Amino acid sequence: MKKLLLLLFVSINAFAQEKYEAFEFEGKFGVVNTNTLEEFVIPTFDSYAPVFEDDVAVTQKAELYLFDKMTGEQKKFTSHYDIFYSSSNEKYFYFKEDKKGVVVPTKKSNQTINFDKNYQSIESIYGNLLAKNKESYDVFSKDNYDKPKWENIRAEDIYNDYFLNKKTKEIQKIIILYGKENVLVYDDSFDLIKEYKEAVTNQKKLFELISSDFEVHDKNFMTDGRERDIKSWEFVNDNDFTIITLKEKNISFKIKGDYVLSNLKIYYSYRNEKEIENWISLIDTTSKMKVSFIIDFDNNKILLPKKYQKLLNIKML
């Protein structure tokens, strides 16, 4: 029994710690303490970035701000970025900060990968990071991001796919760097398999060059089969109020004014459909006042600061 109570306490405590979420008021985004419904950060940000799982992420022009969902700790990135995906399809952002580069994962944003210099771009292939210099690449193996496994590989282009290795008769994940003096063929751990001392500048000539050793292997792909949770809100006008109901969750609330559904402002790069499933975005047809917030269905609670709930006369029913 003691063990059960301890587990229950830890579980409740862990949930309670995740106490910060975003909201939108009058077209600007802020951060709310979901336990107290006090405003933690006033709404001054341009858009929401739900792709970061452990953070409330908002943007202002070229700046990205991350607020830890448990502690509220803030991080800011101010420069342009590249986007790439890991071998497990996790999304990463590459920022150029203070003449150094930093890679920020969307699942564990505190587990950054830091570089001693600014690369033109970063690409991820089979978990390896290929960092582009002006005319070459530095390669960080998936086994060690602390220092490059290869430096200054002269190449213009990259090709990767599954290949039949005609010598070993095995199907391999292959990465090819080409476009300069040599063609370099690596396996998925970035160990060099073959080097051709010949310059090729297009894929047709590349495949002709390596055809005696490697052949592209056809693959069939399947979707993950997931279905999206599509919510259907119902709107009814009652005197000066709009009553909004979601029958699937047995949730209703009212707000003063004539409101209809609106769109949540999210830049395409920062989208994550799963993370916005509990959001609702509303706009008043007369005043054009816009408000967006998360609904905590389990606790029948609107995650919008109390002062805005009072101002807008929002109440759960």
pLDDT tens across 135-190, in order?
Answer: 899 998 888 888 889 999 999 889 988 898 989 888 899 999 999 999 999 999 99
d(CA 282, CA 291): 5
Q: Which two tokens stand for residue 295?
A: 């609904």
Residues of the chain with pLDDT > 90: what percent?
32
Question: pLDDT digits over 35-85, tens only?
Answer: 999 999 999 998 888 888 888 989 888 788 999 999 998 988 876 666 766
Decide which of 91 and 132 is more confident: 132
170-178 and 183-187 beta bridge pairing = antiparallel
Asked if residues 20 and 38 have their Cβ atoms less than 8 Å apart, the reply is no
Closest CA to 69 of 16, 8, 112: 16
Q: Residue 203: is its pLDDT beyond 70? A: yes
Residues of the chain with pLDDT > 70: what percent?
84
Asked if residues 247 and 235 have their Cβ atoms less than 8 Å apart, the reply is no
- Per-residue confidence (pLDDT) for residue 12, from 0 to 100: 39
- Per-residue confidence (pLDDT) for residue 228, from 0 to 100: 39
DSSP 70: T
Q: b or e along 297-306 (b: 16 or more beta carbons within 10 Å of the residue's beta carbon)?
A: eeeeebbbbe
Instruction: Name 224's Cβ contacts closer than 8 Å, sequence gap at least 6.
Output: none
- Per-residue confidence (pLDDT) for residue 124, from 0 to 100: 83
d(CA 143, CA 128): 8
d(CA 38, CA 78): 27
